[in-house]
Structure 1
Amino acid sequence: MVNATWRSSAPIPPRAGGKYTIRVTVAAPKKPIIAPVPHPVVQPHGVAAILARKEVALEALDVLRGPIIKLPGQVTVIEMALADVPVAGKPPLPGQPWQLVRLNSAHGATSYGLTFNGAVASVTVRITAPDGRFAEQVAK
């Protein structure tokens, strides 16, 4: 389990130019999943033919727009408007391995927190302004 917190002075309510967004990328350790693929009864073709002949390392990128249950994969991307980040105290969705929350505000800065169940190699937080400017921080 990983707990990460950070602060931002980006405005939460939408501005005249649009919404500020947050994108949190959680990368799992680079450990491939080796799974044997059973031979199909029918004659395979294309990708199925390649997978049927050998074990393969599986990698995936799951892009999540808001609070959606993550599918198995190597990277989880959580992206939403800052105004849509729930205030701490609300329970996560059932079966969801992560929870992104807004913790508190003081002196023009807001604290955010991420709880993630699972192995993590790095967490990248990017806050983007409506005009495309962004601030990004990576924690390993």
Structure 2
Amino acid sequence: MIHISFNVSSLLVGTERYRLITDTEGELTIFSSGKLVFSHDGILLVEFARCLSAWVAAERQRSGQEFFYSSMDFEEEPVLAFKHGEAGGLIIVSALVEVPRDITLMSSDLIRASKNFLHELYDYLSSAGINPDNYDTFARY
């Protein structure tokens, strides 16, 4: 079971449509079967969510897509990627932290975890008094 979670450290400052992307920052973590696989602070969570949402949509249309997330806040890339592993499935790759290469993830599990993450982030923003639909945002699944 894969779980993608977040912990917001800073939230929306301005009212411009792009501000939700540039101002919502925090820690992003990924667990696989209860084991921490990826964790990094300072991730632009809505920027990540937009990229993840586009991947979910592309994956729904054509299975087997790789995911690649780079950020305006980091020179290194990828911040996070889901790439095809040698043994099939997907592996997590990051230029920011060392990620165990022996953990292979099923695309369907990553899609489910991604949809849960997108739903939880949308709900978090809404509960913080922010209407995500008023900003450049991501699809809620």
In the superposition, the TM-score normalised over structure 2's length comes to 0.25
Higher Cα radius of gyration: 1
- The TM-score, its normalising length taken from structure 1, stands at 0.25
Which structure dedicates a bigger proportion of its chain to helix? Answer: 2
Q: Which structure has the higher relative contact order (CA within 8 Å, separation 6+)? A: 1
Kindly indicate which of the two structures has a greater share of residues assigned to strand: 1
